[in-house]
Amino acid sequence: MKSTKYILLAAGAALLVLLGTAGSDGCKGQHKLGGAWIGVGVGETWDSLQCPLDAEGQTFAIRVAMTSWGPEIAGLLKSFGADTPSEGVGQSRMISRDTAKWTFMGYAQNTESPGVIGAIFVYSGTWKFTSQDTAVLNYSLNVYLPTADGYPDLNNPVIIPGVLPVTGLTDTAKRVPILE
């Protein structure tokens, strides 16, 4: 009888350990990409939509819209004859349990001449989840002149010493919640 009691106690203790591990898995488990996000950086705000490309949420397509920007972005746009950034599109993939690598691009455009592309902005970096609903982005910005077909010439970035490329950028993001 005593051995049955110890077996039951041991089984109960093992179950509690397993339940505790499962309950804490939200902090240690694999993060998944996807959803609607809003973000802020130095002098800018943006929103994005992440559409998973696989059932596991390990890759996604992204659409980003800059909703406001400060004098640095305005000056950069102006230097290419533009006054507004287009929406950007790109892709990402998880490279660890809590970090994704991503790239997206958008156009520098002038609202007076919407068919003219002044430059192509290519952002790339990492997306590190700090919780299921928050993230920190570390990234860089390269600028390219468009080729005749409207694509960036990735072999020839625009280099302006002290201005381009821009490295060491950091933004924070929050998932848009479903309100109760």
Angle at 85 between CA 145 and CA 76, to 5 degrees: 60
Q: Quote the mean pLDDT of the chain.
A: 84
CA dihedral 164, 84, 69, 81 (to 10 degrees): 40
Quote the pTM value: 0.79
Q: 74: exposed, middle or buried (C-beta count within 10 Å: 0-12, 13-18, 19+)?
A: middle
Cβ atoms of residues 78 and 69 within 8 Å = no
CA dihedral 16, 22, 24, 25 (to 10 degrees): 160
pLDDT tens column, 118-163: 999 999 999 999 999 999 999 999 999 998 888 898 889 999 888 8
Report the CATH number of the 31-175 domain. Answer: 2.40.128.30
pLDDT tens column, 120-131: 999 999 999 999
pLDDT tens column, 83-102: 999 999 999 999 999 999 99
**E strand spans, the chain:** 35-41, 44-52, 59-69, 84-85, 88-94, 99-110, 113-131, 134-146, 152-157, 166-175
Distance CA 108, CA 122 (A): 11
Q: Where are the domains positioned within the chain?
A: 1-28, 31-175
Q: 142: exposed, middle or buried (C-beta count within 10 Å: 0-12, 13-18, 19+)?
A: buried
